[in-house]
């Protein structure tokens, strides 16, 4: 496993890309329900298509290490197949030509971009152990993790209907290895209103006696509540 270090800033290439984006995209208004962001935490956010991850990487007031689909950390063919068939066609509902163009072009530069933001591959099989191991190593170096837990198999919605439980598994493993609870903080990005709201920090210890499914639902509701406050429409 590669050596994990504390990430205090992105590399020169990512900083250059961020500077270009800031030139053409207005900075969103950011509000916090939490007074001070903790040294390290697990942030859970809505994806909002391609806009959410990009906006948070560029404008969030803290460097975050994101989880991302594991094909995007592999060879060009794997990246192209994921982008064309799953991301653009299935999730974003783009047409064939638009999907072909975007998958072909973005597939060329995506690997260096994802390496630059230290993306952690999120696996859906036994290799999920690697996802957790890398994430724990980052948390041990005081790097905060960014996870998009929504089930996006049928696209991205303003009101999230279903959550994956990987972020809770990571929080439990952190407690088992570190002996303390890691804060979990919801973050909602409202694309139309150009606003980001950072919610209150909670831990799994705040929900004694509840099942994993019930705790997952609580955090999903917290995230959706932020969206309502920002003006997101219910689906």
Domain architecture of the chain: domains with CATH: 24-71+126-230 (3.40.50)
Q: Is the dihedral of CA 139, 46, 35, 10 positive or negative?
A: positive
Cβ partners under 8 Å of residue 15, min gap 6: 9
Question: Smallest Cα–Cα separation from 204: which of 182, 178, 188?
Answer: 182
Low-confidence residues of the chain: pLDDT under 50: none
- Rounded to two decimals, what is the model's pTM? 0.94
Euclidean distance between CA atoms 6 and 1, whole angstroms = 16
Residue 62's CB is within 10 A of a number of other CB atoms, namely: 15
pLDDT tens-digit readout, 97-124: 999 999 999 999 998 999 999 999 999 8
- Give the pLDDT confidence score for residue 52 in this predicted structure: 87
Q: What pLDDT is stored for residue 186 in this prediction? A: 97
- What pLDDT does residue 70 have? 94
């Amino acid at each position: 496993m590669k050596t994990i270090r504390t990430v205090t800033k992105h590399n020169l290439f990512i900083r250059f890309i961020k500077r270009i984006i800031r030139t053409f995209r207005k900075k969103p208004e950011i509000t916090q329900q939490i007074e001070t962001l903790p040294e390290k935490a697990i942030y859970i956010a809505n994806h909002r298509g391609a806009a959410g991850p990009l906006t948070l990487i560029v404008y969030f007031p803290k460097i975050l290490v994101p989880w991302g689909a594991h094909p995007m950390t592999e060879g060009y063919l794997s990246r192209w197949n994921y982008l064309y068939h799953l991301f653009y066609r299935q999730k974003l509902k783009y047409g064939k030509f638009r999907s072909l163009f975007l998958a072909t072009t973005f597939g060329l530069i995506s690997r260096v971009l994802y390496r630059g933001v230290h993306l952690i591959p999120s696996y859906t099989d036994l290799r999920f152990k690697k996802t957790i191991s890398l994430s724990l190593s980052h948390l041990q170096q005081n790097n905060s993790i960014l996870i998009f837990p929504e089930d996006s198999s049928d696209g991205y919605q303003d009101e999230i209907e279903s959550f994956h439980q990987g972020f809770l598994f990571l929080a439990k493993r952190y407690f088992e290895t570190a002996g303390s609870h890691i804060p979990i903080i919801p973050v909602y990005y409202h694309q139309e209103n150009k606003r980001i709201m950072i919610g209150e920090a909670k831990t799994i210890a705040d929900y004694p006696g509840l099942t994993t499914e019930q705790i997952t639902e609580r955090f999903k509701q917290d995230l959706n509540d932020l969206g309502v406050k920002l003006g997101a429409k219910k689906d």
